[in-house]
Amino acid sequence: MTQSSFDEMLERIDAIVKNQIIPLETLLLTQQWDQLYPALDEIRQNVKAANLWAPNLPADVGGMNLSTVELGQIAEVSGQSPLGHYCLGCQAPDAGNAELLHIYANDFIKSHFLLPLAQGEIRSCFAMTEPATAGSNPTLLEATAELIDDQWLINGRKWFTTAADGSQFTIVMAVTEPDAPKHQKASMIIVPLDNPGYRMIRNIPVMGHEGKGYYSHSEVEFVNCKVPANHLIGQRGQGFKMAQQRLGPGRIQHCMRWIGIARRCFEIMCKHVKNRPITGTSTLADQAVIQSKIAESYAAMNASRTLVMETAKIIDEAGWAAARHHISMIKFECANMLQSVVDNTLQSMGALGMTDDSIVAFFYREERAARIYDGPDEVHKISLAKSLLKQF
């Protein structure tokens, strides 16, 4: 694709986000799920017809087959709305699951689960974190899967299984090799969610909001849950290796989306302060402290974008492993940039920022989690610092 045709495509996506997707946010903010999902489905069909579906996936499963640098630019544009990635078919956790299955799944899983997932005909979720064990160190996880008579018998409780509500299958991470070294104990197994051994306990209220369907996080349990042996992804004991493989792309895609959120908030902040009279003759935009927030937000957002694009370039040229430390760096850096830009925006809007009359409060409560999921700040800082210190 030439640069000019890529730029033209970005403009088309930006127009879809601004003209079709952002107007639907009111349905999200007022939790009118029955109207929201059919409206989103219609946009998804149009996106497919316009060949803009699944920018994260390779062509053989119907994706756009883009480089990471190209994906980053699209993810920023569609990330401007919390509905954007879903409309383009590149939303977490489906995106990470599809990318993982594309690499590791057997032919049965590819035809029964990956293809309909990649086409957006079904949804999926990823069940690794448990309420009773520290998710920051998943080698502690306690869920088990035992192979008996050609069937996996799965037991365990998981939570923060994003988008489990209405999903057709989950990838569950469970201990299959209890006596192996700690990084070779767990495996990943597919469980269709109509299985009688699976139960969704609740959608967890997060910052006071339960959500529904794709926009939710569930607590779930597996009680003597049986699935055929061929539902194993990859090899036994490869779970942590595959989790790293899944989370690497997942993390950079989150960072790209967060830059889109920062860009949206930045625009909202600038428009608001220019239009808010604060004295008879001046607006908020004339105040030095507000100008400072504008300048700091702009600098932080652009610095994050530069780091993310540098990381994307390393991935494209040298592969994921070569970008491992960059990915840790951008994960905490971009999450903190996001929190500060969203907070600056909310603060400059005063009481309005606290309401659901704008999207800012949604970003504020929903994206606080950015500093926790896919590895909390501390874990990424420790990992980066340890590797840097080795050089001295």
> Is residue 339 within the footprint of ligand FAD (CB under 6 A)?
no
145 close to 198: Cβ distance less than 8 angstroms: no
The stretch near ligand FAD (CB under 6 A) out of 44-52, 132-140, 241-249, 277-285 is 132-140
Amino acid at 268: I
> Is residue 89 within the footprint of ligand FAD (CB under 6 A)?
no
Nearest-approach distance from CB 104 to ligand FAD, in angstroms: 17
> Is residue 147 within the footprint of ligand FAD (CB under 6 A)?
no
Tell me which H or E stretch contains 156: strand 151-162
The stretch near ligand FAD (CB under 6 A) out of 101-109, 144-152, 190-198, 370-378 is 370-378
The stretch near ligand FAD (CB under 6 A) out of 39-47, 127-135, 229-237, 356-364 is 127-135
Q: Quick one: which of 52, 66, 128, 154 contacts ligand FAD (CB under 6 A)?
A: 128
The stretch near ligand FAD (CB under 6 A) out of 189-197, 223-231, 303-311, 374-382 is 374-382
Q: Quick one: which of 274, 378, 386, 388 contacts ligand FAD (CB under 6 A)?
A: 378
- For residue 322, count other CB atoms closer than 10 A to its CB: 11
> Is residue 192 within the footprint of ligand FAD (CB under 6 A)?
no
Measured from the CB atom, the residue of 27 and 379 that comes closer to ligand FAD is 379
Amino acid at 347: Q
Q: Quick one: which of 68, 91, 124, 162 contacts ligand FAD (CB under 6 A)?
A: 162
**Secondary structure of 171-240 as H, E, C letters:** EEEEECCCCCCHHHCEEEEEEECCCCCEEEEEECCECCECEECCEEEEEEEEEEEEEEHHHEECCCCCHH
> Is residue 379 within the footprint of ligand FAD (CB under 6 A)?
yes
Q: Quick one: which of 35, 45, 111, 136 contacts ligand FAD (CB under 6 A)?
A: 136
> Is residue 115 within the footprint of ligand FAD (CB under 6 A)?
no
Nearest-approach distance from CB 312 to ligand FAD, in angstroms: 23
Integer Cα distance of 344 and 289 in angstroms: 11
Strands 169-175 and 124-127: parallel
Integer Cα distance of 176 and 145 in angstroms: 5
Quote helix, strand, coil % in the chain, to nearest 5. Answer: 55, 15, 25
Q: Quick one: which of 55, 63, 135, 156 contacts ligand FAD (CB under 6 A)?
A: 135
What the block records as the tokens of 224 is 């003597």
Q: Quick one: which of 126, 215, 362, 363 contacts ligand FAD (CB under 6 A)?
A: 126
Among 30, 362, 297, residue whose Cα is nearest residue 354: 362
> Is residue 156 within the footprint of ligand FAD (CB under 6 A)?
no
Subset of 193-222 contacting ligand FAD (CB under 6 A): 206, 217
Integer Cα distance of 258 and 107 in angstroms: 35
Helix/strand number for the chain, H first, E second: 14, 9
Q: Which residues bind ligand FAD (CB under 6 A)?
A: 93, 126-129, 134-136, 160-162, 206, 217, 369, 372-373, 376, 378-379, 382
